[in-house]
Chain A
Amino acid sequence: MIAFTLRRLGAGVVLLVVISMLAYALLFASGTNVARNILGEFATEDQVLLKAQELGLDRPLAERYLDWAGAAVRGDLGRSWFGSQSVTDSILSRLPVTLVLITTAIVLTGLLALVIGVAAAVRRGWIDRALQAVAVVCDAIPGFVIALLLVIALAIQAGVFPATSTIGPGAPPSAWVLSLTLPVVALVLNAVASSAQQVRSAVIKQYERDSVRTLRSRGISEREILLTYVLRGASPAALTVLSLQFIGMLGGVVIIESIVALPGIGSLAVPATQQGDVPVVMGVVIYTVVVVVVVNLLVDLLNGWLNPKVRVS
Chain B
Amino acid sequence: MNVRVRTAAAAVAAGALLAGCSGGDAPPASSVGGGAGTDQVLSIGMLYDVPDWDPAMAHVGHNLQPYQVAYDSLLLREPDGELSPMLATEWNYDDSRTVLTLELRDDVTFSDGAAFDADAVVANFEHFKGANGRQAAQLTNYAGAVAVDADTVEVTLTRPDPAFTYFLSQAAGLMGSPDTLEGDDIGSVPVGSGPYVMDTAQSVAGSQYVFTAREDYWNPDLQKFGGVTLRLLADVTARANALISGQVNATLVEPASIAQLEGAGLTLVESQVDWMGLMLLDRDGTMEPGLADVRVRQAVNHALDREALLATLQLGHGVVTSQPFGEDSGAFDPELDDYYPYDPERARELLTEAGYADGVTLTLPSMPLYETTFAVLSQQLGEVGITLEPVAVPSQDYVTEITSGKYTSAFYGLFQAEAWVAINQFVSTDSLYNVFDTTTPELDTLLDEVANAADEEASDAAAVEVNRYVVENAWTAPLYRRSQIYFTDTSVTVLPQVQSAVPSIYNFSPAA
Assuming the contacts A42-B424, A162-B26, A163-B242, asked whether A169 and B432 have C-beta atoms less than 8 A apart, the reply is: no
- The docked-state distance in angstroms from the alpha carbon of A110 to that of B13 is 34
Q: Give B394's nearest chain A residue, CB to CB.
A: A30
B interface secondary structure, majority: loop
Instruction: Name the one of B25, B48, B241, B432 contacting A172, with C-beta atoms under 8 angstroms.
Output: B25
Q: Quick check: B432 and A275 within 8 Å, CB to CB? A: no
Of the listed stretches B75-83, B173-181, B395-403, B437-445, name the one at the interface; the rest are far from the partner chain: B395-403
**Within the complex, what minimum Cβ distance (angstroms) separates A80 from chain B?**
6
Residues of B within 8 A of A263 (CB): 204, 206-207
Q: Give B432's nearest chain A residue, CB to CB.
A: A41
Most buried by A among B201, B207, B430: B207
**Within the complex, what minimum Cβ distance (angstroms) separates B164 from chain A?**
13
Whether A268 is near chain B, meaning CB under 8 Å from some CB there, is: yes
Q: Quick check: B26 and A39 within 8 Å, CB to CB? A: no
A: which residues have CB within 8 A of B? 30, 33-34, 36-44, 47, 50-51, 54, 80, 82-85, 89-90, 93-94, 148, 151-152, 155-164, 166-172, 174-176, 178-179, 258-261, 263, 267-268, 270-271, 273-276
- The docked-state distance in angstroms from the alpha carbon of A34 to that of B235 is 23
Residues of A within 8 A of B452 (CB): none
Residues of A within 8 A of B499 (CB): none
Whether B23 is near chain A, meaning CB under 8 Å from some CB there, is: yes
Assuming the contacts A159-B21, A261-B231, asked whether A93 and B204 have C-beta atoms less than 8 A apart, the reply is: yes
Assuming the contacts A30-B396, A39-B132, asked whether A164 and B238 have C-beta atoms less than 8 A apart, the reply is: yes
Assuming the contacts A169-B201, A263-B204, asked whether A275 and B12 have C-beta atoms less than 8 A apart, the reply is: no
Residues of A within 8 A of B208 (CB): 168
Residues of B within 8 A of A54 (CB): 132
Residues of A within 8 A of B235 (CB): 258-259, 261
Whether B52 is near chain A, meaning CB under 8 Å from some CB there, is: yes
Residues of A within 8 A of B480 (CB): none
* 7 A-B pairs with the lowest CB-CB distances in the bound complex, closest first: A175-B24, A83-B51, A84-B187, A159-B16, A42-B137, A263-B207, A163-B241
Whether B379 is near chain A, meaning CB under 8 Å from some CB there, is: no
Residues of B within 8 A of A267 (CB): 206-207, 232, 234
Instruction: Name the one of A44, A84, A174 contacting B137, with C-beta atoms under 8 angstroms.
Output: A44
B: which residues have CB within 8 A of A? 5, 9, 12-13, 15-16, 21-27, 48-54, 57, 59, 132-138, 140, 186-188, 201-208, 231-235, 237-238, 241-242, 244-245, 247, 394-397, 399-400, 421, 424-425, 430, 432-433
Residues of A within 8 A of B400 (CB): 33, 36-37
Contacts A82-B51, A155-B241 known; list 12 others, CB within 8 Å: A30-B396, A36-B399, A47-B136, A54-B132, A148-B237, A156-B9, A161-B23, A162-B247, A166-B24, A168-B202, A170-B202, A261-B231
Q: Quick check: A159 and B12 within 8 Å, CB to CB? A: yes
Q: Quick check: A37 and B396 within 8 Å, CB to CB? A: yes
Q: Quick check: A159 and B245 within 8 Å, CB to CB? A: yes
Q: Quick check: A260 and B238 within 8 Å, CB to CB? A: yes
- The docked-state distance in angstroms from the alpha carbon of A9 to that of B146 is 61
- The docked-state distance in angstroms from the alpha carbon of A296 to that of B400 is 41
A interface secondary structure, majority: helix
Assuming the contacts A163-B242, A164-B233, A174-B24, asked whether A42 and B421 have C-beta atoms less than 8 A apart, the reply is: yes
Most buried by A among B5, B21, B206: B206
Residues of A within 8 A of B433 (CB): 41
Assuming the contacts A41-B425, A42-B421, asked whether A258 and B25 have C-beta atoms less than 8 A apart, the reply is: no
- The docked-state distance in angstroms from the alpha carbon of A245 to that of B54 is 42
Instruction: Name the one of B16, B23, B186 contacting A175, with C-beta atoms under 8 angstroms.
Output: B23
Q: Give A162's nearest chain B residue, CB to CB.
A: B23
Q: Quick check: A274 and B232 within 8 Å, CB to CB? A: no
23 chain-A/chain-B pairs, Cβ below 8 angstroms:
A30-B397, A37-B399, A37-B400, A39-B136, A41-B425, A42-B135, A42-B425, A83-B187, A84-B187, A85-B51, A85-B52, A93-B206, A157-B5, A159-B12, A159-B13, A162-B26, A162-B245, A164-B241, A169-B203, A169-B204, A172-B25, A179-B23, A261-B232
- The docked-state distance in angstroms from the alpha carbon of A33 to that of B432 is 13
Instruction: Name the one of B137, B207, B397 contacting A39, with C-beta atoms under 8 angstroms.
Output: B137
Q: Quick check: A268 and B241 within 8 Å, CB to CB? A: no
